[in-house]
Each structure stands twice: as C-alpha cells, then as structure tokens.
C-alpha cells in the first residue's frame, strides 16, 4: 500500500485511487505531523505555513490545536484488491486548496533532516540532563502518590512548570500519566467532567499525547473504559493512536490492542481506521502475532474484509509454525465473526492433520468445536481425527472430546468406521464415569449415520444398562431422541416402553419442553411407537392414536419441483396418470414429513391412500423416493439413519421402494432419453417388501455364501482367537497327558483370553490311531485316551464368536519332534495345502482344487516310496479316496458347515469316487469364506480294501506301507477368504515342520521348570483321591521302579523324582531339627 495524494471531492478531477492506482507523492514540507485531530473537525482552511515542532512545550501545543484541526481530516477512499472494491476510512492531511495526502503508509517522501556535527562534551551533558530529569520525575511521582485531592496534584504540577525553563512543560509523560490516574481515583465522575474543560487538565493530556509511548497510551485508554464520561480525553488519546497508526509507528500488536481498547471505549469510527496500519505491515505478521490480528476482526465492521484479505494472503506462509493456542484463537475469532474463509480454514485443517500428535485433548476439542461452528470439514480433518482415535482410543480421558468428535461426525455426516468404532470402545470402557447428560450426544450420532459398531452386542448391552441406571437423570427430550435412535438402528428397547408411555413421564415431557419444539418431540414419539408396531412382533401396540385431523407437513421444495418436472416420465412408467399419486402419507403411518412418499405407483382406481390394503396386497404398490444430497453421508454412498428407517418401514407395509437421487435427476432433466433410462434402471432395482413382524421368512442360502465386510471382521477375529488357542495347546502338550486335557486347554484359552464362550463343534482331539478317525471326540469316543510319547496328534477345534464359526486343524507330534515317517506324511499334506492356497482365486472350480490337492499329495507319497506308478492312473483308479476319504473343505460362517454348497443353478454333486464327498462343486467367487483341509490317513478298513483290489494294490508299496498301519493320520486345515487375485488366510499357527518344532522346543526350554533337574516321566496314573479330589498323588511313569510319590501341586501333574529335588527336602528337615535343638 502506498501513501497517495487525494483530490478533494469538490475538485473536477474527482477521486481515483486504490492499491493499484497510479500515485503522486506529497511535498516534503508538509510531511511533519503537527498534533492530534478530532473526528468532528470541519472547514477547508489551508494549513499553517510554519507548524510547531513535535518537541515544543505545552503552551505551544495547546495554541496549535485549533490550527491543526484545520488541515487534518477523516475521509474515505475506494480500495481495489483484485476484483474486490471497498470504500474504507482513512486519515488525510490537507496540503493545498484541492489536494490531500492520506496517511495510509510510511512511504511518504520527506526531506532529509540536517544533523549538526556531534560533540562529545554536548552528548555527555545531555545524558546528565536526562538522568537529572528522570530523578526529578520520580520525585514528582512520589509526591503525587502522597496527594489525596485533585488540587494537591495540580499544585505539584504547577510548581514544576514554574521551575522549568520557559517553553517546556517541566515534567515528562510518566508524571502526566500518574497525575491523571490519581485524579481519576480521587475525583467523582461529575467533578471529572467539569475538570476536563480546564486548562491544567488539558496540559496533562497534551503531555501524554505528544510525549508518551504507545504502550502507555493504550494502558491509559484501557483504564478510561470505566470513565466514558470523559469523551474529549478519550478522543484525544484515540486520535493520537490513529495518527500514529497512519504514520506506521505502531506495531502489529499495538494496532490490535488499540482496536480492542477503542471498541470498548465506544469509538467504532476510530477503530475502522487501523486497517491501514495492519495492511501496511503485512510482512510483519508472523506466527507469534497472527492470532492477535484475527482476534481484532470481531471489533471491525467496515474494514473487516480488507484485514481478512491480508490475513488470507499471509497465513499460508505461517501455518506450519503456529502453536495450538494460536490456532484456537484464530478459529474462535472466525466463529465470533461468523466467517469461514476457505483459504484460512483449509490451511488450519492442514495444520491440524500435520500436528495432531502434538495436540492435547482440550486443545483438540476446542479446534473441532470451532470447525463445527464454522460449518467446515474436509478430508484433512477426518484423517486427523481418525489418526487420533486410532492412537489413543479408550485412553482418551475427556468425555467432552468424544462428544465433540461425534458431534463433528454427525454434523458433516462422516461415516468413518475407525472413528465411530473407537468412540464405541470408549463408551464401553468408560461408561461408569460418564455423565448421564452426555448419553444422547454419545449415542444418537451412530443412529443418524446408520452405523452399527463392530462390537454391537457389548455396545448395546452397555447402552441399555447405562440408560436403565440413569433413566431418571436424563432429560425427557433426550430420552425421546435416544428411543428414536434405537428405532433407526433397528433395535427395540421393549424394557423402556412402560417408562416412556407412563403418564407421569409424558406430563414431565410436556412440561419441560419448549412450545416451539413440542411438535418435533411428539413426532419422534409417534415414530417410535410406529416403528415398534411395524418391526417388533413382541410389541403390544400401537399405543398412541392415529392422526385424524388436517396437519401441515414440511416438504422440501427441491423435491417438489423436480418431481413436478419429471411427472410425464413417471406417468409413462406407472401406466398413466390414474396409476400414480404424488406427495402422499399412508394411512398406517403418522403424519410426519419423514413418511411423506414422493410418488406412489398403484393399480388404476387405487389412488385413495386410505383404501390401500398394504398388509394383504404386498409388492403391488411402488413407493418412489427422491433423496437429496444431504440424505447421504459425506461419501455419497450410504444413506443416513432416518432415511434408511423410512425405506424399511415402507417395505414393512408391503410396498416396493425405488429410490432416485436428486443430483442425478437435476443433471438429466435436460436429457430426456438418459432420464428415461435412469428411471427404468431404478425401477428394476426397486426393493421388495419385507415380511410383517413375526411372519415366517424363507432364508435364501445364497445370501450366506458371500460375506459382508462386517462378517469378515468377525470371522477374522474368531480365527485369530482359535489360532492362539491352538498354539496354547501346543505349549501345554506333553506325553502322558489325556486328550481331554488338550481340549480343556483350548476351551480355557478361547474363553479366558479371546472371550469366545462356545466352540463351533465338538472338539476333535485324536492322538495315535485316534487321529485317523475323522470325527473323533463325540460321546462314543470322548477324547479320553492318554497321549503316548511320540504319538501324532490331530487336533481339530474352532471357537465361536457372535454366532460365527472357526474350523482349524493342527497336526504335530506329542513330544515336539517329528520322526522321519511323520515328517514324510506331514510334508505331503502340507504340499497339497500350499498348492491349493497358491491356485485358489475367483473363477476357479472347487472340484479342480480338490483334485489338485489329491494329485500333489499322491505325488509326495510316491516320492517317499509308499506308492509306485503313474499319479494320473492312481487318480483315475480312485486311490486318492483311500488316503483322503473326505472333501477338500466346506463353506464356513454362521455354521461350521455353512449352507450354499448345492443350490439351484449350481453344479450338482458328482457320483465319482474321490469327489463325491465334496460339500460343494461351485466356482469360487470373491467374498466366499471356506476351509482348505487336505489330509492323509492310514485307516485299516480302507487299506485292506486297497490291498484286496488289484486295480489299487498295484500302486501300493506294501513293505513300506505296513509300518504305517498304526500311524493314524495328518490333516492341515486353514480358514481362508477368496479374493479376486487369490486368498487371504485367517489362520495364524505354525505350519512347517521346522516352525512346529521350534515353537514347542523354545517354549519347553523357556517355561518348563522341571526340564533341567527332573526325570523324563512327566505324568503318571492317579493312585488315590482323598477329600473330594483335594489331594492327588502321581507315580513316575518313566521310572516305575523308583516308587516315588508326590503331592500334586500344579495343574501340569509334573513329576519331581530327581535326587536334587529330594536333597532340598532333606536339607530343609535338617535345618528344622537344628532350630528345634
């Protein structure tokens, strides 16, 4: 900005100017400032030719006031910044009859001052005089402090003036300020108003105006806020600050303080002139003072836009150095101004995402609240909140922060799963410390966004418990909002129905609700009653009467206009005007804008909505709904909760529902052909009616084949819990244990660690020859055999969580070391499993995967010299069914052998040996979840059958197979998700031989306290059982001759028969005898 010459408005040349105008510089002889001015000055007299110097005495200054008012003026200019043109106030000085200079910059051309040659003696003398003057001022201040009346103060100042040299005031600004403060303190307001007109008081004010620094003047103005009855004094001090600002002698901070103080002193016309000082010092705005400038915006009216433009240019250069407190002050200033400049808010959102790790909880809450009040949110803010919730989660200590986050998500429809799940975890973990008044703010956003947390069971159980405990402490209107949220989420709080429809509660509700909000609350209560009636078979309703009187219903004008615009196309689809009704409310629903149906297609003659029999004639009428952009979440993918409930309730009434997007209709209204195609497509995708509550529903098995994202997360969790439980069983495994002890360890770990109370099926814990029994472990074979040293264990177990199953099988030797034969068979099965995992993907036949596993396994057995001949011939003869008499796997989900294997339209079951046991023959699709479980078993009846069949026996190497007669079997079973490019394996257990041996060996070395000094007999048979099992003894099973018996002191039945252990007991007995003696 440049200082420029402005022509008088009376001049024929006119007023032209701005930031980009061509400017003329004023003459240097008019550059010196004379004195303060008044906003009430008038006249066009020319300025004096010899103005007094700034350092002249009080008398000269007083005499020059009148003349100075003649040539310093207030004016307005037109300022252009780009396309923006504003009329802003400025301070101008009259330099000729028709010309002014405006004080909007320090770039005025001034004549160089002639400085006399320096003299060391004179400088030393001046320093001494200055020191003496300061000491004299301090003495005067002490004298003033001792005065108790205005007369005493003025007497002291008069004496000082008489003692001073002629032409000087005799005291400095600090003395004048102290004197004025003393006068304000001792005088009444009435006396002060009279004193303000006296000459001594004017001399005091002039001394402050001409000689005090800006900080002192601002402090004095701040004190004068309580003395608005002194307008002349406030005007003089304020005009002086305006003048200094125009001369660019005020810093950015002082300009901002002056704006605030003068606003509080009720001088808005002065405040508007400080924009020039801020604009001229744009480069002086830094990260340390930018928030001061923003904080001054609420005090500005006319010049606010000009200052904001400066800040918009400056803040992108400073944001990365701003502190959290500065950011909060900037945002709060924008909230106070009700401004949301895009460049500033975008920059601050970037600051938040960059510095989220350094922001405290209260600071983050203040920032998010400000963004919410500014109606601004973007991907940067969402990403910052997501990172914060992921990092802290339940460790957040502030309830207000979680409420603020949820309010921000609700306000801007941020349906972010990570944020909402984190908030639900916080609610579950900290519900005991929550305030009841926060319950609505914590729960309703989930309903508005139609988001059910992953931990839905715990979330709603906690919600019900908290609401039951604090029902009386929650405001009735909040309770109705919570009930409405329940219905939106398709949850039915029947245990609160009696409390809601209690006459006392309804009386309190009406008494404590504002009249203008009462209709809204009643509407939500009717929706709650209607929702339970339509969707809950156990609800004895409706309990509220229907609406029979005429009632106005709000309907968005955008929907009405677009429906009227496309009425012709809709009538063509409906079959004529008599087959379509616009803007109707069904008789079964309350008169509420939520249930207003935009268009209904119906058979001819059924246009009267009160004659529609929606309960008997289902899927005959079609409800067409137009959805506005705000009916969707921020991504435009998911509808908000009330709209989802609206569709659901219409479908419960027997209507098909077709939905149209307003934004698409608006774009296509000028393209008739594309509009018709869009309408036809949406009608084809209309949702069928839902069965009424309590009706028998036929379940389509195909719906359970492809898993939803929520189901996948639950399946991933239960597979992880089952995997960890299998690894815990490996840790606890020792020869001599019983099979049921392994099962018990799996059950314990699944429940105690993973929270899975149930298993998906009866656990199969087979060891030795029992491992060849495919479904071992039922009531006839209850996992009750002892596990021998070196036996092969096949443990098929899976936990169940939320109704979803896991099915995992691990095979390993009981002692943790594979023999050569065990390694051969295990690696053959592992190779088959790896081959299938590498080949399975969308579009592959499950039958082909089964045959691939059989072929690979037979090839490995042939390499191990158990088989001979061509593998293809073995497959053709059906030898694969001898060693693997079951299918490769099965669907997994709500059942361990889930439905969907052989559905209508899918490949039928084959009768060919080897594939006739498959539980499905379908082609794989992305989203299918199934098991991959190849196995190799040496089952006596099947081996005898193969020996007796010449077509099979020719492939068997009998002399090698005979040593596997009592081997048992090996199975490796993983739970996998089919994707478009492969699989995702949810099973996380040691699989290779080396991994299994390392896992079991490392644990034994680290955790077994008896390995180093005990015998290898770990468990023996129980001998006696006294006192209901409180005392149990075991005998060493490895050294039967030692006869050592010990008290069982741990759950592992560890035998302690080593000599070192016995010696410890003997030493203890000897010490005890010595003590007794």
Mean pLDDT of the 106-110 span: 38
What band does 614 get if pLDDT is binned at 50, 70 and 90?
low
Evaluate if residue 9 carries a pLDDT over 50.
Answer: no
49 part of a folded domain: yes
- First CA to last CA distance, the chain: 106
Q: Which of 953, 972, 1000 is the last residue of a domain?
A: 1000
pLDDT of residue 521: 94
Q: 372 near 405, Cβ under 8 Å?
A: no
Residues 953, 904 within the same domain: yes
Helix segments in 315-378, DSSP class H: 324-337, 342-354, 361-373
Quick check: is 230 in a domain? no
d(CA 908, CA 901): 9
Once rounded to an integer, what is the mean pLDDT over residues 276-294? 93
| 747 and 875 in a common domain | yes
Token couple for 759: 């298993």
**How far is residue 892's CA from residue 889's CA, in Å, rounded to a whole number?**
9
pLDDT band for position 251 (cuts 50, 70, 90): very high
pLDDT at residue 42 tops 60: no
Last residue of a domain, one of 102, 125, 160: 102
Q: Which of 234, 236, 194, 241 is nearest to 214 (CA)?
A: 241
Give the model's pLDDT for residue 899. Answer: 85
Which of 448, 474, 500 finishes a domain? 474
pLDDT at 1044: 35
Q: Note the pLDDT of residue 109.
A: 34
Alpha-carbon radius of gyration of the chain: 45
Say if 588 falls within a structural domain.
yes
Q: What is the pLDDT of residue 94?
A: 59
Shared-domain flag, residues 565 and 624 = yes
Average pLDDT over residues 744-750: 95
Q: How confident is the model at residue 607 (pLDDT cuts 50, 70, 90)?
A: low
Closest to 1043 (Cα-Cα) out of 1066, 1064, 1020, 1065: 1020
Residue 1042 has pLDDT above 60, yes or no: no
Tell me the C-alpha distance between 876 and 855, whole Å. Answer: 11
Same domain? For 585 and 620 the reply is yes
What value does the mean pLDDT take over residues 434-441? 94
Alpha-carbon gap, residue 72 to 680, rounded angstroms: 76
With respect to residue 10, please indicate whether it lies within any of the assigned structural domains. yes
Domain CATH number, residue 858: 3.90.230.10
Residues 1047 and 991 in one domain: no
Do 779 and 755 form a contact (C-beta atoms < 8 A)? no
Whether residue 778 sits in one domain with residue 675: no
Counts of helices then strands in the chain (DSSP H, E)? 41, 22
What is the rounded distance in angstroms from the CA atom of residue 614 to the CA atom of residue 586?
A: 9
In a domain, 1035, yes or no: yes
- Is residue 451 domain-shared with residue 593, that is, in the same domain? no
- Whether 521 is covered by a domain: the verdict is no
pLDDT band at 701 (very low <50, low <70, confident <90, very high): low
**Is 870 inside any structural domain?**
yes
Whole-number Cα distances in Å, 290 to 254, 294, 316, 328, 363: 13, 6, 11, 12, 18
Q: Are residues 874 and 725 in the same domain?
A: yes
Assign 92 a pLDDT band (cuts: 50, 70, 90).
Answer: confident
Which pLDDT value is given to residue 95?
56
Asked whether residue 495 is assigned to any structural domain, the reply reads no
Task: Convert 507-543 into a string of H (helix), E (strand) and C (coil).
Answer: HHHHHCCCHHHHHHHHHHHHHHHHHHHHHCCCCCCCC
Is it the case that residue 141 has pLDDT exceeding 70?
yes
- Domain span at residue 433? 318-474
Looking at residue 1065, its pLDDT comes to: 63
Query: What does pTM read for this prediction?
Result: 0.62
996 and 1012 in a single domain? The answer is no
Residues 679 and 750 in one domain: no
Weakest-pLDDT range from 404-413, 435-444, 899-908: 899-908
Q: Which residue is it, tokens 């339509």?
A: 534
User: How many independent structural domains does the chain possess?
Assistant: 5
**In a shared domain, residues 835 and 950:** yes
1045 and 922 housed in the same domain: no
Predicted local distance difference test score (pLDDT) of residue 128: 64
Judged by phi (left if over 0) then psi (alpha if -120 to 50, else beta), residue 490 lies in: left
């Amino acid at each position: 900005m440049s200082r420029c010459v402005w022509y008088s408005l009376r001049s024929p040349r006119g007023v032209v100017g701005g930031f980009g105008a061509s400017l003329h510089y004023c003459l240097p002889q008019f550059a010196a400032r004379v004195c303060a001015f008044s906003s009430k000055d008038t006249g066009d007299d020319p300025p004096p030719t010899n103005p007094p110097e700034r350092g002249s005495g009080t008398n000269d200054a007083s005499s020059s006031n009148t003349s100075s008012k003649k040539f310093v003026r207030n004016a307005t200019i037109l300022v252009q910044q780009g396309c923006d043109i504003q009329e802003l106030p400025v301070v101008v000085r009259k330099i000729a009859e028709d010309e002014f200079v405006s004080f909007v910059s320090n770039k005025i051309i001034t004549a160089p001052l002639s400085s006399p040659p320096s003299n060391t003696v004179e400088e030393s003398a001046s320093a001494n005089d200055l020191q003496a003057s300061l000491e004299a001022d301090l003495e005067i201040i002490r004298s003033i402090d001792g005065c108790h009346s205005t007369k005493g103060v003025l007497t002291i100042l008069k004496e000082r003036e008489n003692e001073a040299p002629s032409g000087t005031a005799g005291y400095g600004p600090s003395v004048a300020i102290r004197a004025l403060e003393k006068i304000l303190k001792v005088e009444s307001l009435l006396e002060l108003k009279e004193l303000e007109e006296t000459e001594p008081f004017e001399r005091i004010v002039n001394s402050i105006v001409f000689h005090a620094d800006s900080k002192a003047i601002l402090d004095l103005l701040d004190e004068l806020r309580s003395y608005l009855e002194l307008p002349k004094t406030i005007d003089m001090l304020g005009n002086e600050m305006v003048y200094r600002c125009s001369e660019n002698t005020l810093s950015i901070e002082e300009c901002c303080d002056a704006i605030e103080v003068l606003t509080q002193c009720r001088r808005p016309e002065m405040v508007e002139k400080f924009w020039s000082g801020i604009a001229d010092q744009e480069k002086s705005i830094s990260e340390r003072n930018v928030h001061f400038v923003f904080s001054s915006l609420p005090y500005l009216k006319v010049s606010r836009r000009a200052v904001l433009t400066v800040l918009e240019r400056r803040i992108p250069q400073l944001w990365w150095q701003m502190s959290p407190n500065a950011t909060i002050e900037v945002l709060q200033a924008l909230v106070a101004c009700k401004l949301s400049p895009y460049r500033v808010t975008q920059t601050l959102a970037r600051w938040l995402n960059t510095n989220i790790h350094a922001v405290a909880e209260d600071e983050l809450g203040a920032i998010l609240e400000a963004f919410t009040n500014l109606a601004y949110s973007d991907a940067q803010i969402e990403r910052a909140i997501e990172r914060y919730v992921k990092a802290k989660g339940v460790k957040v200590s502030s309830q207000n922060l979680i409420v603020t986050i949820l309010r921000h998500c609700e306000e801007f429809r941020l349906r972010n799963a990570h944020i909402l799940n984190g908030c639900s975890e916080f609610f579950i973990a900290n519900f005991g410390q929550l305030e009841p008044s926060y319950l609505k703010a914590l729960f309703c956003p989930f309903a508005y966004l139609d988001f059910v947390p992953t931990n839905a069971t715990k979330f709603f159980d906690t919600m019900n418990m908290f609401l039951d405990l604090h029902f009386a402490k929650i405001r009735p209107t909040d309770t109705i909002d919570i009930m409405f949220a329940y219905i939106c989420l398709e949850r039915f709080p029947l245990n609160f129905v009696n409390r809601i429809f209690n006459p006392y509660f309804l009386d309190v509700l009406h008494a404590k609700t504002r009249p203008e909000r009462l209709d809204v609350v009643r509407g939500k209560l009717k929706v709650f009653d209607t929702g339970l009636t339509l969707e809950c078979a156990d609800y004895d309703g409706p309990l509220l009467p229907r609406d029979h009187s005429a009632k106005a219903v709000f309907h968005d004008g955008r929907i009405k206009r677009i429906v009227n615009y496309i009425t012709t196309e809709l009538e063509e689809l409906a079959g004529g005007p008599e087959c379509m009704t616009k803007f109707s409310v069904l008789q079964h629903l309350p008169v509420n804008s939520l249930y207003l149906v935009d268009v209904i297609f119906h058979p001819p003659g059924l246009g009267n909505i009160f004659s529609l029999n929606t309960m008997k004639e289902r899927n005959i009428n079609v409800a067409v709904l137009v959805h506005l952009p705000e009916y969707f979440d921020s991504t435009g993918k998911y509808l908000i909760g009330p709209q989802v409930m609206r569709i659901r309730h219409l479908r419960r009434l027997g209507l098909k529902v077709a939905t149209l997007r307003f934004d698409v209709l608006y774009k296509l209204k000028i393209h008739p052909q594309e509009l018709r195609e869009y309408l036809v497509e949406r009608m084809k995708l209309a949702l069928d009616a839902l069965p009424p509550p309590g009706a028998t529903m036929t379940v389509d098995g195909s719906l359970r084949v492809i898993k939803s994202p929520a189901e996948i997360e639950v399946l991933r969790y239960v597979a992880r819990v089952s995997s960890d439980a299998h690894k815990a069983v490996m840790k606890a495994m020792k020869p001599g244990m019983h099979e049921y002890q392994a099962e018990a360890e799996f059950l314990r770990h699944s429940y105690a660690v993973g929270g899975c109370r149930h298993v998906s099926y009866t656990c199969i814990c087979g060891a030795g020859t029992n491992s060849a029994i495919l479904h071992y472990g039922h009531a006839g074979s209850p996992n009750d055999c002892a596990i021998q040293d070196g036996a092969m264990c096949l443990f098929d177990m899976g936990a169940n969580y939320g109704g979803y199953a896991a099915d995992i099988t691990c095979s390993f030797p009981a002692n943790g070391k594979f023999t050569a034969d065990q390694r051969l068979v295990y690696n053959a099965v592992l190779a088959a499993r790896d081959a299938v995992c590498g080949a399975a993907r969308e579009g592959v036949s499950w039958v082909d995967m089964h045959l691939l596993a059989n072929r690979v396994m037979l090839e490995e057995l042939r390499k191990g010299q158990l088989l001979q001949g061509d593998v293809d011939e073995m497959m053709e003869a059906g030898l694969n069914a001898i060693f693997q008499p079951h299918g490769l796997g099965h669907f997994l989900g709500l059942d361990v052998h889930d439905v969907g294997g052989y559905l209508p339209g899918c490949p039928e079951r084959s009768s060919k040996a080897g594939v006739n046991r498959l539980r499905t023959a379908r082609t794989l699709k992305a989203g299918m979840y199934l098991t991959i479980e190849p196995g190799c078993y040496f089952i006596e009846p099947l081996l005898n059958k193969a020996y007796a069949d010449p077509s099979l026996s020719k492939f068997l190497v009998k002399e090698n197979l005979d040593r596997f007669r009592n081997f048992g079997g090996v199975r490796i079973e993983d739970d996998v998700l089919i994707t478009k490019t492969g699989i995702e394996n949810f099973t996380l257990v040691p699989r290779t031989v080396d991994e299994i041996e390392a896992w079991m060996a490392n644990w034994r070395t680290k955790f077994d306290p008896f390995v180093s000094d005990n015998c290898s007999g770990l468990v023996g048979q129980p001998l006696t059982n006294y006192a209901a099992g409180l005392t149990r003894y075991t005998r060493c099973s490895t050294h039967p001759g030692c006869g050592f018996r010990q008290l069982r002191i741990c759950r592992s039945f560890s035998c302690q028969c080593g000599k070192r252990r016995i010696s410890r007991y003997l030493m203890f007995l000897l010490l005890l005898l010595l003590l007794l003696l």
